[in-house]
Amino acid sequence: MTPERWRVASDLFEQALEVPDAMRQAWLDERCAADPELESEVASLLASHLQVQSGFLEAQVKGAVVALFEGSSAADAERRIGPYRLIRELGRGGMGTVYLAERDDEHYQSSVAIKLIRPGFDTDFILARFKRERQILAHMKHPNIPRLLDGGTSEDGMPYIVMEYIEGSWITDYAKLYDLGIEQRLRLFIDVCSAVEHAHRNFVVHRDLKPGNILVDSNGVPKLLDFGICKLLHADPMAGSETMAAMLTPDYASPEQIRGDPVTIASDVYSLGAVLYELLTGTRPHRIERFTPMEIERAICIDDTAQPSSVARSPAIARQLAGDLDNILLRALEKEPAARYPTAEAFAADLQRYLDHVPVTARPQTIRYRAVRFMQRHRGPLIGVAAVALSLIAGTVVSVRQARLAEARLQLVRGLANKFVFEVHDAVRPLPGSTKARELIVQTGLQYLDALAAGAQGDPDLEKELADAYTRIGDVQGNTNNSNLGNAKGALASYQKAKSLLDEAGKKRPSDRKIALGRARAAQKLGNIAEESRSMNEAIVYYEQSLQQSEPLLRNDPDGSIRRQASNVQLDAARAYRLLEQRQISRDHAAKGLALALEVAALAPNDLAIQQTVVSAHSAVGMAESGLGHLPESLAEFRLAVRTIEALTERDPNNANLRRGLMLARGHVADTLGGSQVLNLGDTKGAIAEYEKVVEIGKSIRDADPADQRATTDYGIALSRLAALIPDSERARKLAIQKQAIAVLSEGAAINPGNNIFALYLAVVYEEMGDLLKASRDLAGADKAWQMAGQYAGKFANHGLPSILITMISSNRKRGELAASLGRRDQALGHAEIALHAGGEPKAGSKMVWTHILPRRAGAMGFIYLALSKGPAAARDDVERASEWLHKSAGLWFEAKNQPGFAPRHQKALDEVQAALVDVSKSQGTTSAKAR
């Protein structure tokens, strides 16, 4: 279609929408009398317009976002690049990702590092830069620079670089780890200088020297990495220095880099100096407190670098640094490029002189020169510092002036602490490898807060503010939802501090709603952390405290925010009590949570989040009631959950999440009616009807996207549950559904053979199918089905799933009994062997719970011998053997009985063994009678 025709079609489409429905066709006929093609185009667009449901495009995009981030890293892991197999991601830079990879062909196997351009970043500029890095590396041959091994273009046209894989630590970490002395550190560093010198001689300036680019391998050899932003010293069209500056790590960048001035080898000398400074003192040469351009420029281009000896970690190190090393470092770190060492080699040479106890070339800057510069720069602030010092000394004498000063100081520190924790932390969070920096920020923030908290007594406003900051720090430390620092203990301490500050504040202002709500929240967070570390009793204490705090506020809660919070805590508490099997209390909490959620939902009928809380609350009540054995009540709640979520799906029919939620809720209803649960209402018919709906929803979700693994899983499982419920008397129907379940599950298993859930359910369905066929005397069919069950179960026998082992044992037992009854003695005993050794020998420390497996394994032997003794191929001591194994099995069951987790189904299995023993003793009686 030409743009002109499209314009005509667009106009007609718009106008047609203004025409009443009934007249539209006639109207269109008239306009397009001469152009049927145009008419059909517009008509089909109009038809499509009527079909489009709201949110159609949103749904497409949203689903894709979710798909993108689920398991996207797994996709990379399975990739191959040329002859290399990617193992895992090692690191990620601005545009490239580095993977650990293996080359495995017939001859040798070796680990390498592969650098790839990240998908979507293959712009000409980046491609050119990447190729340049490859060229540069190809020219470098130096023991302290990783070798370029290979390079090429992958099947999808992306260039890649294969490098020697260096397993090691950053130079600073390495020095710390092995507690290296100053001399050892210097020797390592001299090697780094020689690598940099090598690069310079190849006309390459590295431009991003920092500890993160220097690894020390397992042989103690330092290696200089990442020539990604290096610059060629001769004509280089790529050197756009201003934008490049944006990518630098400011801590090690030279003043000329920060200013955007031309970069020379002197810049690398400076960065080397900064690295050595950190290597020797443990701190960076500049204290950059705020990452703003002005602040960075001030710190790097204007401020004097502190004498390394003055910031050393210990007096002993300070003594070693004072003098020559101070002078050498300060020379490398001169602001003026011309005043630094002219080359990396010269820098290294001076260090070597120090090691050789020969006079070094670096000279100290005079004190007078430094003092003059200092006074010039700090005239203003100096007076301020003096004043603060004065107010501290004269702190006991209260005067209006000093009070103001103290107040100003407090405000200053307050502001700093807030800025630190809130702004600086957030700003560095997206930076790769910023974890260390964030840890430091958190630590420093905590120091400020602790200092402030010590002086906060008596000021509830300050206490509240500090508590907020502690809560925030706690979130940063422990919140698993953020890119967190995984420090549950730290988070716990911070929340506790927040709580005790709020408790203090609360004493002074008992009616302050904000403080009370803060206390309730802090207690809930403490509870969540306790729950995560499986301290349920502790969690409960916190939840109860939280509820106690919010209780008096509930009556005055116009916007529902307090009830919303309390409702969530009630559900938290219900869950914790349920896990502790305190079912009655769990139920009460769930019911209260439900009542609150319903109140809030009434206030905000269109709020999806609260509706979801309502659904969770109904389910929580349902589970609690079910635990109490109150099945009708439980059923009623699950039904309400279904109804609520059904209403939501009606509002948003394309929302697959909601439909899945509905499916799961219906599953609860079905299981309560008469599912596989031990405790149910015995209403098999009702359960079947319910599961038919579950299956229907499951199918529609799966059909909407056949590639969706989870939908396939859900659908397959639903079918297998439905099949299990259908009584054997409806043989044809049951068999048909079993076959359907097998088809769906096999499809899933074929796509993802490593996923044991498909195998698990396939094994179960096949076993049940075998049972069904056996009952209808289709012995060959039954044997075949049990064989499949055993195969699927056997595949995952070592995965630590008891149910899969049980299926493996029972399907082999059944095949063995069948073979025995047909007189196939060897075959029967073969199955007995497999059952007896299913899952291998129990090992110490294995996760598998063997308590209920071992008696089944012995039982299978016993039952098969018993069947043999009755079959056409009986041997003399079959009864004896059966008796032995069954006794063993019964003994193991009795042992299991004394341990927790012994359920009615285990009792049933024991009963079966005991019945067989009675049978055996009768046979023994007849045998001995015959013998007599």
Partner 1 sequence: MTPQEQVTQLLVDWKNGNKQALDLLTPLVYDELRRLAEGYLRDERMAATLQPTALVHEAYLRLVAQNMPDWESRSHFFGVAAHLMRQILVDNARKHRSAKRGGGAAKVQLDEAVGFAPAKSSDVIALDDALKLLEEFDPRKCKVVELRFFGGLSVEETAKALEISVATVGREQRMAEAWLHREMTTSTNPGKNAK
- Among residue numbers 259 through 318, which ones bind partner 1 (CB under 8 A)? 291-293, 296
Whichever of 613 and 869 has its CB closer to partner 1, that residue is: 613
- Please report, as a single letter, which amino acid is at residue 510: P
How far, in Å, CA of 624 to CA of 622, rounded? Answer: 5
DSSP state of 838: T
Residue with Cβ nearer partner 1 (127 or 349): 127
**Which residue type is seen at 71?**
G
The residue from 8, 59, 90, 437 that contacts partner 1 (CB under 8 A) is 59
Which structure tokens are listed for 513? 């709603």
Answer yes or no whether residue 686 interacts with partner 1 by CB under 8 A.
no
The answer to whether 85 contacts partner 1 (rule: CB under 8 A) is no
**569 contacts partner 1 (rule: CB under 8 A):** no
For residue 133, state whether it binds partner 1 (rule: CB under 8 A): no
Q: In this structure, what token pair is assigned to residue 177?
A: 């780890």
Q: Under rule CB under 8 A, which residues in 90-109 are in contact with partner 1?
A: 94-95
Q: What residue type is assigned to position 301 of the chain?
A: C
Collapsing DSSP states into helix, strand and coil, what is residue 140?
coil
Residue 622 beta carbon to partner 1: minimum distance, rounded to whole angstroms: 9
Q: In the complex, what is the shortest distance from the CB of residue 53 to partner 1, in angstroms, rounded to a whole number? A: 9
Exactly one of 121, 422, 850, 902 binds partner 1 (CB under 8 A); which one?
121
| Residues 778/797, Cβ–Cβ less than 8 Å | no
Near partner 1 in 210-249, by CB under 8 A? 240, 242-243, 246-247
- DSSP symbol at 422: I
Q: Is 678 in the site for partner 1 (CB under 8 A)?
A: no
CB of 258 to partner 1, least distance (A): 9
Of residues 424 through 443, those in contact with partner 1 by CB under 8 A are 426-432
Contact 23, 52 (CB under 8 A): no
Q: Does 69 bind partner 1 (CB under 8 A)?
A: yes
Is residue 637 involved in binding partner 1 (CB under 8 A)? Answer: no
Q: Judged by CB under 8 A, does residue 631 bind partner 1?
A: no
CA-to-CA distance for 2 and 8, rounded, in angstroms?
10
Q: Does 903 bind partner 1 (CB under 8 A)?
A: no
Q: Tell which positions 364-403 bind partner 1, by CB under 8 A.
A: none
Contacts of 519 (CB under 8 A, 6+ apart): 499, 502, 503, 506, 545, 546, 549
CB of 402 or CB of 684, closer to partner 1: 684
**366: Cα separation from own chain's centroid:** 55
Rounded to whole angstroms, the Cα distance separating 549 from 526 reads: 14
**Does the protein bind partner 1 through residue 775 (CB under 8 A)?**
no
Q: Residue count at the site for partner 1 (CB under 8 A)?
A: 108
Q: Which of 148, 598, 697, 718 binds partner 1 (CB under 8 A)?
A: 718
What dihedral do alpha carbons 906, 910, 913, 918 form, nearest 10°? -150
Which positions ≥6 away from 713 have C-beta within 8 Å? Answer: 748, 755, 757, 758
Stretch (H or E) spanning 467? helix 460-478
Q: How far is the CB of 750 from partner 1 (least distance, A)?
A: 10
- HEC profile of 319-358: HHHCCHHHHHHHHHCCCCHHHCCCCHHHHHHHHHHHHCCC
Q: Which of 21, 22, 23 is nearest to 49 (CA)?
A: 21
Cβ 896 vs Cβ 852: under 8 Å: yes
Helices and strands: H and E segment counts in the chain: 38, 11
Under the binding rule (CB under 8 A), the answer on residue 661 touching partner 1 is yes
Q: Which is nearer to partner 1, 753 or 842 (CB)?
A: 753
Please tell me whether residue 71 binds partner 1 under the rule CB under 8 A: yes
Contact predicate 574/531, CB 8 Å: no
Min. distance of Cβ 29 from partner 1 in angstroms? 19
Of the candidate residues 51, 218, 366, 396, the single one contacting partner 1 (CB under 8 A): 51
Query: Smallest distance from the beta carbon of 752 to partner 1, in angstroms?
Result: 5
**657 is an interface residue for partner 1 by CB under 8 A:** yes
Smallest distance, partner 1 to C-beta of residue 272, A: 22
Three-class SS state of 161? strand
Determine the 3-state secondary structure of 53 from DSSP.
Answer: coil
CB of 453 to partner 1, least distance (A): 28
Indicate whether 41 belongs to the interface with partner 1 (CB under 8 A). Answer: yes
Contact positions with partner 1 (CB under 8 A) in 461-500: 480-483
Q: Please, what's the largest Cα pairwise distance for the chain?
A: 121
Closest CA to 254 of 270, 240, 243, 241: 270
Coil vs helix vs strand at 877: coil
- Taking the complex as a whole, the smallest distance from the CB of residue 844 to partner 1 amounts, in Å, to 27
Decide if residue 709 touches partner 1 (CB under 8 A). yes
Residue 901: left if φ>0, alpha if ψ -120 to 50, beta else—which one? left
Which one of 23, 60, 183, 390 is in contact with partner 1 (CB under 8 A)?
Answer: 60
Could you tell me the smallest distance in angstroms from the CB atom of residue 693 to partner 1? 13
Task: Give 803 or 899: the residue with its C-beta nearer to partner 1.
Answer: 803
From 24-32, 337-345, 654-662, 882-890, span contacting partner 1 (CB under 8 A):
654-662
Distance (Å, rounded) from C-alpha 691 to C-alpha 722? 6
Alpha carbon dihedral 361, 364, 369, 370, in 10-degree steps, equals 130
> With respect to partner 1, which residue has the nearer C-beta, 242 or 841?
242
Interface segment toward partner 1; rule CB under 8 A; list 64-72, 352-360, 500-508, 810-818: 64-72
Q: Does 49 bind partner 1 (CB under 8 A)?
A: yes
806 binds partner 1 (CB under 8 A): no
Q: Which of 206, 284, 721, 774 binds partner 1 (CB under 8 A)?
A: 721
